[in-house]
Structure 1
């Protein structure tokens, strides 16, 4: 979806734009994204470019990978790129004028920030998590959110495997000693991981990949999840977190940030763990009670730990991991056999390239076609692309409150036209309708727009005009 050319209904809320008076076409995004390198583009139907793409303003923060930036730039959008996140006040100033924003984990899109984003239609989270976005507020104000739930799973799993071996052999301590000039060749309390029990909390995309890697190295794998899942290999699901903590030599966390997972591992859980066991957290910083972890390390209850995430993290690189950020930072840094990394679980070239492609493609499909497949806060709806064989078609996209009687009212408006295809779905309070109408002229477009806008259930209404007029759109935020 995109913001209007000049609002045909002469309303000032949409961004100003120049209407293209030439019939433009481009290769279908779906064809471009999924064709093999040897495929001929001529084998796919050419899709009409539905609006002047150069009027779409995109802000990318936190050093989004070049692959994603290239995909968006090739569409002709205006792309602004920054390497870091922004303080809230600067973010508010920037977000007022953009239609699309791309972020990673440090940028916080709160209700206060989103309230100022009058032109925003979609958010791309170039990472797995979306807890940094107020998803409910975004959905109720017609802003779709996309993420990349799969692309960095392998990178995180490999980091955890490396940390398990490093902790078992005390590699961090030995390396630091050598850097200081100390030769300390010891075998006391250094172990092979073969035959040890790995306990995985959260058996999703990362946990299940880790399970396979660990088992191939001779570890026994048990896991705990709130839902019953099919185990891979010889891994076994245990009925409770307490059972996992009691039996595991290594415990690793792979859960989302939820009220239920806040301080999931605290003093009571550390007491349930084996003496001399190890804890790894590469999920969310709120999952582990770090002062309790420090106590468990100092008493010898834990033999080692690895943390990649923290309750408060710096907005950029620098000498910031001190007590001013987290009151326990210096105490944590003073411990032996603890690996501290700066949220790099998914920070590999392969993962960031894959994330860049996955999220950027989702953004392009949403902006250009209205497709919501993969959205985390919207119903998933799609229709096939309009092509050059359908030059006088209009795609209507109607985002509205999920209340009784809406479809009857919408279909009464569309019923005077030839509706070629239509699909609708709902998710919670938000419903999403797509309809393609053929043989529509300019005056009818304006009438359609005004009729849909007049419905009291409206969150946002967009009419795509894949011809000479560009996209007609207007935003109406929910109260």
Structure 2
């Protein structure tokens, strides 16, 4: 009978000070072999430590490149304890049979609240007034100071964050228009417009909430800023690569954009010791924050739960639901069976080979589910526990096999 690796032998490497909820979830599920570090590792240290890790949990500073992943011979899964996954080479991970999980929903409220607060601050001219008072001035004036009630917020990207922001903005009396690559059902009285250009021309304040995709990279540059209303405002809490920073700086310098708030940047410091550089630093009417849109205790607690639970489901049952780079498979556990996970090259005939070899060997398949994505296929199958050793041997003999595991 083939047996899975004992839980205390499965090693987790958790970096960058993940919330303690991640530890609790893993410990409660029986996983105790955990190395927990409060910081990111330099590439050499990371390459060394990842060699013996079965699971790795990271935030945004750790870069899992192809070169690093090639050192991770035992790695089973990657968890990004954040929304973004651009710090991981997703194609290389899939090629090596490693699913990547993230937390796309856990910090939506935190980001939405920050953006709404920034909108209010910008409309009251608080950033500039605050800077003047800190320097000993006393700029008591109502010039360019407005309530946000009745103003038009243009939300670019109506996903989990954009739609929640929409509801919050409406509750304060704002009018909301939004643009998304696909048709989205509006919440409240929000209205979807037909193009980004239409949104830019009609919004009093524009806020970005889009993923990092080829279609969104530098989607806001001089041409787009020129379309915005004179004296409008701009917020980016999405991805730094969505905005041409020099063009935004020029629009602010000219007065076309009356103020901005930016939380993400094309180039960000790797540590607190590295100086942050940006042409936006010279503007008093710009709020600059160090990529902290989702950095609240509530969001980090939720993220710790969400990603760690995905680790447990994958380790315990092979469940890849919500993986960002991998075929999604989830089937109920059957009593009296052993579960086999077979990751293979996505070419015709693999499933036929497996089923034929099992039939020849007299192995009874109790359940199976196969999904593919890109160049990888992922098969989850349950066999009678008396046949698991033979089944494992048969799967390893399939030439297209990338990785095979046996569970419970």
Taking structure 2 as the reference length, the TM-score comes to 0.95
* Partner of residue 13, structure 2: 59
Alignment of 1:5-404 (within 5 A): 50-74=4-28, 75-318=30-273, 320-322=275-277, 329=278, 331-386=279-334, 390=336, 393-404=337-348
Residues in 1 aligned to 2:340 and 2:22: alpha-carbon distance in whole angstroms: 28
Aligned-residue offset at 1:380: 1.5
What's the TM-score once normalised by structure 1's chain length?
Answer: 0.81
User: Where does residue 417 of structure 1 map in the other structure?
Assistant: 363
Aligned equivalents of 2:56, 2:96: Cα separation in 1 = 15
Distance of 1:56 and 1:459 partners within structure 2? 20
Tell me, in whole angstroms, the C-alpha distance in 2 between the residues paired with 1:212 and 1:394: 47
Structure (1/2) with the larger helix percentage: 2
How far the C-alpha of 1:157 sits from its partner, in A, is 0.5
Q: Which runs of 5+ in 2 are unaligned?
A: none
Alignment check: 8 A CA contact 1:61 1:81 kept = yes
Whether contact under 8 Å (2:358, 2:394) holds in the other structure is no
Residues 173 and 439 from structure 1, CA distance in 2 versus in 1: closer, same or farther, beyond 3 angstroms?
closer
Residue 462 of structure 1 corresponds to 405
Cα distance in 1, alignment partners of residues 275 and 20 from structure 2 = 27
The answer as to whether partners of 2:209 and 2:238 remain within 8 angstroms in 1 is: yes
Change (3 A) 1:316 1:214: same
Residue in structure 2 matched with residue 3 of structure 1 by the alignment: none
Question: Is contact 2:162–2:209 with CA below 8 Å preserved after alignment?
Answer: yes
Aligned residue for 1:448? Answer: 391
Structure 1: 5+ residue stretches without partners: 1-6, 9-18, 20-49, 323-328, 467-479
Aligned 8 A contact 2:81 2:102 in 1: yes
Determine which structure has greater relative contact order: mean sequence separation of CA pairs < 8 Å that are 6+ residues apart, divided by chain length: 1
Aligned pairs, how many? 405
Q: Distance in 2 between matches of 1:439 and 1:118?
A: 28
Report the secondary structure of 1:286's partner residue: helix
Q: CA RMSD in A?
A: 1.7
Over 3 Å counting, the alpha-carbon distance change for 1:140 and 1:294 in structure 2 is same
CA displacement at 1:315 relative to structure 2: 2.2
Question: SS state of the match for residue 80, structure 1?
Answer: strand
Distance, in Å, in 2 between the alignment partners of 1:383 and 1:203 is: 31
In 1, Cα distance between equivalents of 2:284 and 2:31: 52
